[in-house]
Amino acid sequence: MKSSLFILITACLFVTSCKSIDDTIDDKDANDKDTIAVTSLDIPVVKAGWDIYTAGTYHYGPSIIINDDKSIDAWFATAGDAFGERLYPETSSASAVQLSGTMTAAQMFTATDPYYAIEVCCPTWGSTNADLTLSLYNWDTDYNTTTSKMPIATKTYNKVADNSWLKISNDNLFPAGKYLWVLSQPANTIGVWSYADTQSGTQGYLNGSSFSGSYRALLLPVNGVASYWDQIAYRHSADGGKTCQVIRWF
């Protein structure tokens, strides 16, 4: 019968040794008829190269089910943060660049793995009537060659709220490779956040000319939201914790 034992691990996640569950129920009322004494449990222990939790900053204790076939189902929660791979340097200061008329902002980036979406954060200085178009291209040689071809996806956003994340996504995932996202056709007061430093693997462009900087953009590996207060990741490991598969985010 499939095991349904949930292990609640608190301050430390997958350390080289863990206390028995017996030690975690000392504060239970010994006379409580609902108390179940657990005498032994095969708790997984991390080994070199094992990595089931990769969501970011540790927040809450995880819940884990170890099944009879030694597979593991695990749920983790992280504190509020920006989700995904940042295409900008976290330590660099940002400034808002307003776009108008025929102005464009763009960024070449490299996806080392298949990904779900690209998102770009756009300030409107408090306006709620701004429009902007986000397009995604397969990178080819240089900026002009790339943008002379048809984009693989385009989406126009209307009435953009301040600091909204504009997104182009693909449920079947975009393959690994080099891409270029482009913001164009701005209407009313809208722009993009720019950073003075360049993120590795990227190249920023303003009106088609390259510059040594980055934009506030995220590469999302799976379906999720650009920022969140809390988020739960469900992962499954078929080999006892050596490798794992991202099932979904909540």
**Strand pairing of 94-99 and 245-249?**
unpaired
Q: Is there a contact between 216 and 94 (Cβ–Cβ < 8 Å)?
A: yes
User: At residue 154, what are phi and psi to the nearest 5 degrees?
Assistant: -145, 140
The predicted pLDDT at position 125 comes to 93
Q: What structural domains does the chain harbor?
A: 6-81+228-249 (no CATH), 84-220 (2.60.120)
pTM comes to 0.60
Q: Which of 199, 197, 192, 137 is nearest to 165 (CA)?
A: 192
Q: Which of 75, 12, 67, 15 is nearest to 42 (CA)?
A: 67
Q: pLDDT digits over 180-208, tens only? A: 999 999 999 999 999 999 998 999 999 99
Q: pLDDT digits over 121-154, tens only? A: 999 999 889 999 999 999 999 999 999 999 999 9
Distance of CA 89 to the CA centre of its chain: 15
**Within 10 Å of residue 160's Cβ, how many Cβ atoms?**
23
